A and B are shown apart, each in its own frame.
Chain A
């Protein structure tokens, strides 16, 4: 595989032995409504072209008509597998532009929720990776662990998927009694389970054969193609927004940032397992060091941002979620652009799949951890 950073869509002339196969929007392994048009020569892939837009809901246009506090529940619906992170991205961006000071306790609670969310999201990644590779059982185990996180989130926000927990100026509600104990019990439970799941995959000869060397993505290509999060770190680029451009209370936490080497499916799995452990570490630190205080400042009833624009980013389980907000001084954003990591990663799918086999497309999509909600918005 020569290393290239050229942009190559699927050419329209079909060779003699080639077949155009449609991995349609309705497919068990495309993580949502993603359509991938594959040009195959037998089993070998000669061209890949993702076709997106099946879940497009014009969220950005809707935001131009709603006020800033009203947009918070809408941000849940972009990346619906890690809504806390999306809300965090949005409120961080708005608070930066409006100059609102959030209480320290709210910052720590935000870190706590974001890391719990990271664990839940990576568990879904782990389960769907197993399911796509043919091993259905890990999916059930992963969802069983995720139930603990969902229970915690339900206790604190009343919902299991779209929380609307973070608000402009803090978080909606303080921890309920019993939350800390339940969270600590979860922290005790998880390391053993993570070890079990790692053994199920990282030591399994079949999984290693399916993932080592598949979807190689060098550091140069990763930076050129805008990769972020575990995809970027798996290629060996040491960058983590939580550590290098900290937001919320991350500057006060110490955590590992796992790195990979080759940027193949195996390295991305290693990175995500490492992040699972690091998240447990952060949650422990957060529970121990939670400061006292309010959780929500009184933001003005009618919130108007000063005219201007700003780009603000956070580290979601999928990568860099960025918010570019343009304000004209009114109560709604003039333009709100949601930079979704999955959307940007899909472009590099072609680089990762060409030259490999049909079965590797599935492995690559699973390792990129795409959520169509944020791809299509």
Chain B
């Protein structure tokens, strides 16, 4: 029944595409419209999943701590809690402290949030369900994740508070340091797959998942992932118990909601990328590809959350030492080994 509907929609799409390919104007309008429609669909998907992730974090952390988590708002299991929290954040007064650098202060949350959204453009969610199957997918990804640093620094400097500045400086140092091992381990995967496009990487894992061929690379990627996501054990930019929320200490209401949601959007996006790179993306027997995508991504997300609620936080000098003195050499060794393997095999 579902496949019949899919086929019908496919034929409708093909006919419209054919009709539009007549004149360049209509072709252009069609491409634009289709692209926008995909983008809107992804945004909705992202917002829905972000809300689910917030709820999941609360429930998972509660269960790890032998608590129950939200139970009352929306029986059972408090699924309305997330809506309630969002409404609460939206309804708060928009406080802009007098001494802040207004343009930076106001734009920073937008920059951070948009850098997370940009990643969704190349996330493959099923056979052909991808916003744009760029040939340079992974390169685009490395560029998109680097935006966060700018937003972080804008927030830290613009807040005109020493604590924000400390947090932003730490965060920037951390993000920059951990980009390098992450990108190098991604390069190793790209060499194995022979293509930079995300769908291509998924296709290259049809026989064997990359995690089995590249265990070292996966571990490096996982460690760097925590740094990119700003999560414990590497959540120095906003170390709650030291810096009282670090770079976003002066934010409240909707602006804080942006940072908060950006963190979870980023989590889902990078988890999806991790699954794409190492765990075979949307491939799997019996179930439709989109279901596999969701299952694998959520499993990865729950692994990340599990680690977050177990480990303490590292200190910033230990973090940087670990990134430069351990992760970087390991990822380079991994790259070399992969290169040799690709050359000889």
Interface residues of A (CB under 8 A from B): 19, 21-22, 27-29, 43, 130-137, 140-141, 144, 204, 206-207, 209-210, 357-360, 362
Q: Does B310 contact A137, Cβ atoms closer than 8 Å?
A: yes
Instruction: Please tell me if B336 contacts chain A, counting CB pairs below 8 Å.
Output: no
A199 to B: closest C-beta gap in Å: 12
Residue of B at shortest CB range from A210?
Answer: B315
Q: Does A206 contact B314, Cβ atoms closer than 8 Å?
A: yes
Cα distance, A35 to B66, chains bound together (Å): 33
Cα distance, A359 to B311, chains bound together (Å): 16
B-chain residues with CB within 8 Å of residue A360 when the two chains form the complex: 315
Instruction: Encode B51-80 as 1/0 by CB contact (under 8 A) with A.
Output: 000000000010011110000000000000
For B65, B170, B235, which residue has the most chain A Cβ atoms within 10 angstroms? B65
Q: Does B311 contact A210, Cβ atoms closer than 8 Å?
A: no
Residue of A at shortest CB range from B232?
Answer: A134
Instruction: Please tell me if B316 contacts chain A, counting CB pairs below 8 Å.
Output: yes
Q: Does B318 contact A209, Cβ atoms closer than 8 Å?
A: yes
Q: Does A21 contact B162, Cβ atoms closer than 8 Å?
A: yes
B-chain residues with CB within 8 Å of residue A133 when the two chains form the complex: 241, 312-313
Chain B: residues with Cβ within 8 Å of the partner, total of: 27
Q: Does B65 contact A136, Cβ atoms closer than 8 Å?
A: yes
Q: Does A206 contact B313, Cβ atoms closer than 8 Å?
A: yes
B-chain residues with CB within 8 Å of residue A144 when the two chains form the complex: 66
Q: Does B162 contact A206, Cβ atoms closer than 8 Å?
A: no
Q: Does A137 contact B315, Cβ atoms closer than 8 Å?
A: no
Cα distance, A43 to B312, chains bound together (Å): 19
Instruction: Encode B201-241 as 1/0 by CB contact (under 8 A) with A.
Output: 00000000000000000000000000000001101000111
Q: Does A29 contact B241, Cβ atoms closer than 8 Å?
A: yes
The one of B242, B311, B318 in contact with A135, judged by C-beta atoms closer than 8 angstroms, is B311
The one of A132, A134, A137 in contact with B233, judged by C-beta atoms closer than 8 angstroms, is A134
Cα distance, A22 to B166, chains bound together (Å): 12
Instruction: Please tell me if B309 contacts chain A, counting CB pairs below 8 Å.
Output: yes
Q: Are A137 and B244 also in contact (CB < 8 A) when A206-B312, A207-B312, A359-B239 are?
A: no
Write 9 A-B pairs (CB below 8 A) sorted by A numbering.
A132-B242, A134-B241, A144-B66, A204-B312, A206-B313, A210-B313, A210-B318, A362-B241, A362-B242
Q: Does B312 contact A135, Cβ atoms closer than 8 Å?
A: yes
A-chain residues with CB within 8 Å of residue B244 when the two chains form the complex: 27-28
Cα distance, A144 to B233, chains bound together (Å): 24
Q: Which of B296-340 contact A (CB under 8 A)?
A: 309-318
Cα distance, A135 to B67, chains bound together (Å): 16
Cα distance, A43 to B167, chains bound together (Å): 11
Instruction: Please tell me if B279 contacts chain A, counting CB pairs below 8 Å.
Output: no
Instruction: Encode B241-258 as 1/0 by CB contact (under 8 A) with A.
Output: 110100000000000000
Residue of B at shortest CB range from A361?
Answer: B242
Q: Does A209 contact B315, Cβ atoms closer than 8 Å?
A: yes
Q: Does A134 contact B67, Cβ atoms closer than 8 Å?
A: no
For A130, A140, A357, which residue has the most chain B Cβ atoms within 10 angstroms? A140
Q: Does A137 contact B65, Cβ atoms closer than 8 Å?
A: yes
Cα distance, A190 to B239, chains bound together (Å): 31
Residue of A at shortest CB range from B67?
Answer: A140
A-chain residues with CB within 8 Å of residue B315 when the two chains form the complex: 209-210, 357, 359-360
Q: Does A359 contact B242, Cβ atoms closer than 8 Å?
A: yes
Q: Are A209 and B65 also in contact (CB < 8 A) when A133-B241, A136-B309 are?
A: no
